Amino acid sequence: MHSTNLLLEEPIRMASILEPSKTNFFPAMTKIVGTLGPKSRSVDTISSCLKAGMSVARFDFSWGDAAYHQETLENLKLAIKSTKKLCAVMLDTVGPELQVVNKRETPISLEENGTVVLTPHQGQEATNSLLPINFSGLAKALKPGATIFVGQYLFTGSETTSVWLEVSEIKGDDVICVIKNTATLAGSLFTLHCSQIHIDLPTLSDEDKEVIKKWGAPNKIDFLSLSYTRHAEDVRQRNVLTISSIFPSIQAREFLSTLGDLSQTQIFAKIENVEGLNHFDEILEEADGIILSRGNLGIDLPPEKVFLFQKSALHKCNMAGKPAVVTRVVDSMTDNLRPTRAEATDVANAVLDGSDAILLGAETLRGLYPVETISTTSRICAEAEKVFNQDLYYKRTVKHVGEPMSHLESIASSAVRAAIKVKASIIICFTSSGRAARLIAKYRPSMPVLSVVIPRLKTNQLRWSFTGAFEARQSLIVRGLFPMLADPRHPAESTSATNESVLKVALDHGKASGVIKSHDRVVVCQKVGDSSVVKIIELDD
In SS3 terms, 23-56 reads as CCCCCCCCEEEEECCCCCCCHHHHHHHHHHCEEE
What is the per-residue burial (b if ≥16 Cβ within 10 Å, else e) of 490-528? bbbebeeeebeebbeebbebbeeeebbeeebbbbbbbbe
| Mean pLDDT, range 490-507, rounded to an integer | 63
pLDDT tens profile 135-173: 888 999 999 999 898 886 554 444 567 888 999 999 999
Does residue 541 have a pLDDT over 70? no
* DSSP summary character for residue 219: T
**pLDDT value at position 313?**
96
Do 387 and 7 meet the contact criterion of CB atoms below 8 Å apart?
yes
Give the model confidence (pLDDT) of 120-140 as tens digits.
988 888 899 999 998 888 999
Between residues 25 and 517, the one the model is more confident about: 517
pLDDT at 489: 58
- Identify any residues that bridge with 484 across adjacent strands, giving them in sequence order: 452
Note the pLDDT tens digit of each residue in 59-83. Answer: 999 888 999 999 999 999 999 999 9
- pLDDT of residue 288 exceeding 70, the answer is yes
Q: Enter the DSSP assignment of 472.
A: H
Read off the pLDDT of each residue in 96-120 and give the average, rounded to a whole number. 89
Tell me, what amino acid is at 431?
A: T
Name residues whose C-beta falls within 8 Å of residue 380's C-beta, 6 or more positions apart in sequence. Answer: 339, 344, 347, 348, 351
Contact criterion met (CB below 8 Å) for 181 and 157: yes
| Between 112 and 195, the higher pLDDT residue | 112
Beta-sheet pairing, 531-538 with 521-528 = antiparallel
DSSP H or E run through 15:
helix 14-18
* 23-95+217-386: CATH superfamily: Phosphoenolpyruvate-binding domains (3.20.20.60)
pLDDT in tens, 439-466: 999 999 999 999 988 877 666 666 655 6
Q: Is 355 exposed, middle or buried (0-12, 13-18, 19+ CB in 10 A)?
A: buried
Percentage of residues in the chain having pLDDT higher than 70: 85
Note whether 183 and 159 are within 8 A (CB): yes
- Per-residue CA distances from 452 to 435, 437, 478, 499 (Å): 12, 9, 14, 11
Q: String of b and e for 109-132 (b: at least 16 CB within 10 Å)?
A: ebeeeeebbbbbeeeeebebeebb
Q: How confident is the prediction for the chain on average, in pLDDT? A: 86
Each residue of 325-345: b (16+ CB within 10 Å) or e? bbbbbbbebbebeebeeebbe
Whether omega before 404 lies within 30 degrees of 0, making that bond cis, reads yes
* Amino acid, single-letter form, for residue 117: V
Q: Tell me the C-alpha distance between 52 and 371, whole Å.
A: 7
> pLDDT digit string (tens) for 316-327?
999 999 999 999
DSSP 3-state of 377: helix
**pTM given for the model:** 0.88
Beta bridge partners of 150: 163, 192
Neighbours of 262 (CB within 10 A): 21
Which whole number is the average pLDDT over 239-249? 37
- The structural domains of the chain, with segments of one domain joined by +, span 23-95+217-386, 98-194, 390-539
Phi, psi of 109 (to 5 degrees): -100, 125
Share of the chain above pLDDT 90, in %: 54
The per-residue pLDDT for 515 is: 83
Q: Please report which helix (H) or strand (E) contains residue 209, including its range.
A: helix 206-211
Least confident of 244-248, 431-435, 537-541: 244-248
Using CB atoms within 10 Å of the CB of residue 377, give its burial: 0 to 12 exposed, 13 to 18 middle, 19+ buried: buried
Task: Specify the 3-state DSSP secondary structure of 59.
Answer: strand
Answer for the pair 26, 50: CB distance below 8 angstroms, yes or no: no
Q: H-helix or E-strand containing 99?
A: strand 98-101
Identify which of 328, 354, 251, 430 has the alpha carbon closest to the alpha carbon of residue 33.
328
Cβ proximity of 198 and 141 under 8 Å: yes
Confidence at residue 458, expressed as pLDDT on a 0 to 100 scale: 66
| Interval 177-191: pLDDT, tens | 999 988 888 777 788
CATH class of 98-194: mainly beta
Give pLDDT, residue 492.
46
CATH architecture of 390-539: 3-Layer(aba) Sandwich (3.40)
